[in-house]
Amino acid sequence: MKTVNVAIVGCGVIAHEYAKDMVGVDFLTLRGAYDVDAERTKTFAEKHGGLAYDSLDDLLADPEVDVVVNLTLFKAHHPITKRALEAGKHVFSEKPLAGSVHEAVELVDVARRHGVRLSCAPVTFLGEAQERTRQEIRAGRVGKVRLVYAESNHGLIEAWHPQPQSFYEVGPLRDVGVYPLGIVTNVLGPAARVSAYGTTLKKDRLTKRGVPFEAVEYDFYVAMVEFPGGEVLRLTCNFYAPEQSRQKGVEFFGDDGQLHLGNWIAPSAAIEVAKYGEEYAPLADYERTERKWSWATGLVDLGSAILENRPSRMTGEHAAHIVEILEGAHESIRTGRPVDLTTTFIPWADRAPELV
């Protein structure tokens, strides 16, 4: 095999970004797509090429499809991914992997039983700046890390998205809080406990066309994630403060100093370091890449892992652990008590150090 054939399920806004970013990746080929809306399927295929499947069954029955990319709505992640895995297809899913840790762990088990790979967003920790951050923290740049601050300010979704309602059914913790969670757990490993607070800052919303709707899920969260080594992550995320807020990064505090990753999604993010209590300065011998974030990053990782017969950097186990943190945070909000976590995973650099 020299080429990995990809089929997309769910032809919404983000599917077009995936298709565009796959162009130029010589070992990824867009085989086709399917959406429950036949007209959207047709439009997508006409724009990006590939087959317009009449049904999900037809897509899964195609022997030429190697990887299914699940870009459906949140509530459909688990059933679609499960069917694809059972059909013998590798799967890359948008985040989160499933609605509950029970469903997420089931998907990991199904993939293992069928001998296929399962990967999932977020994969922003694969960026150059994010990986350099991991290396610096692991090398002891700031000493023993005891506290991490992370911010996910994602603004008013209705200001740019034509159909924002689904975002407010999921909430910012599941939608954008997962990005810094992926980075921090990749650096520190699996978490041990989570407690959280949630509220709704702005319940009544308007689409760009002036159609009123309500924020179903909380639009503001603060989660405290504790790690076995004593480290604590304070994560805040919302659908209110604009993306232009100065708070959209990850800051690691250690006994000897601090490190600030300027942005959790951009591979070109700035990295600043400081000795304890001193002013930040750019990290020496670090040259910022000009590469922009690509939605195909996870597919490049999964596809190359398939071709090279090696572990992918983002695994189903890691994605399932993030789902448990999300579920635990919501349970903590409901009960007012911390929630212990039971799932685990091995960060990719610890599983395959030769890839670092």
CATH 3.90.79.10 describes domain 125-292: no
State the pLDDT at residue 247. Answer: 65
Query: CA separation (Å) from 270 to 67, 163, 177, 352?
Result: 34, 32, 20, 26
If pLDDT is split at 50, 70 and 90, which confidence band does 355 have?
A: low
Span 195-206, pLDDT tens digits: 999 999 999 999
The number of helix segments (H) and strand segments (E) in the chain equals 12, 17
Residue 144 tokens read as 């023993």
Closest CA to 347 of 305, 306, 316, 318: 318
Average pLDDT, the chain: 95
Per-residue pLDDT of 11-22, as tens digits, reads 999 999 999 999
- For 4, 43, 62, 188, the CA distances from 19, given in Å and listed in that order, are 14, 13, 19, 33
* CA atoms of 338 and 341, how far apart (whole Å): 10
Question: Starting from the edge strand earliest in sequence, which strands make up the sheet with 232-238, in order?
Answer: 281-282, 271-275, 257-261, 250-254, 145-153, 232-238, 220-226, 193-199, 339-340
- What is the share, in percent, of the chain residues with pLDDT greater than 70? 98
Predicted confidence band of residue 244 (pLDDT cuts 50, 70, 90)? confident
Q: Given pLDDT bands bounded at 50, 70 and 90, which one contains residue 248?
A: confident
Cα–Cα distance for residue pair 246/265, rounded to 1 Å? 14
pLDDT reported for residue 68: 98
What is the architecture of the domain spanning 4-120+297-315?
A: 3-Layer(aba) Sandwich (3.40)
Q: Indicate whether 345 pLDDT > 80.
A: yes
Task: Scan for tokens 């992918």, then name that residue.
Answer: 312
Q: Where are the domains of the chain?
A: 4-120+297-315, 125-292
For residue 188, what are its two tokens?
């520190």
Whether the pLDDT of residue 246 is over 80: the answer is: no
Alpha carbon of residue 296 to chain centroid = 12
Tokens of 48: 């990006």
**Distance, CA of 356 to CA of 354 (rounded, Å):** 6
Backbone φ and ψ of 213, nearest 5°: -155, 170
Length of the chain counted residue by residue: 356
| pLDDT band with cut points at 50, 70 and 90 for residue 94 | very high
Alpha-carbon gap, residue 156 to 160, rounded angstroms: 8
pLDDT digits (tens, 9 = 90+) for 205-231: 999 999 999 999 999 999 999 999 999
Alpha helices in the chain (DSSP H): 13-22, 38-48, 56-61, 77-86, 101-114, 128-138, 165-170, 172-175, 178-188, 297-308, 316-335, 348-351
Confidence bin at 356 (pLDDT 50/70/90):
low
Q: In angstroms, what CA-CA distances link 282 with 258, 286, 300?
A: 12, 8, 30
Note if the pTM is more than 0.75.
yes
Least confident of 8-17, 62-71, 311-320, 343-352: 343-352
Do 326 and 173 form a contact (C-beta atoms < 8 A)? yes
3-state SS assignment for residue 299: helix
- Mean pLDDT along residues 150-159: 94
| In the chain, % of residues over pLDDT 90 | 92
CA distance 258 to 154: 25
- Between 48-52, 75-79, 220-224, 348-352, the lowest mean confidence (pLDDT) is in 348-352
Distance in angstroms (rounded) separating the CA atoms of residues 170 and 96: 10
Q: Which residues, 6+ apart, have CB-to-CB distance to 299 below 8 Å? A: 4, 6, 18, 22, 25, 28, 67, 69, 92
* Banded pLDDT at 1 (limits 50, 70, 90): low
- The DSSP string of 126-187 is GSHHHHHHHHHHHTTTTSSEEEEEEEEE---GGGT-SSTHHHHHH-HHHHTTHHHHHHHHHH
pLDDT in tens, 283-336: 999 999 888 999 999 999 999 999 999 889 999 999 999 999 999 999 999 999
352 pLDDT tier (thresholds 50, 70, 90) = confident
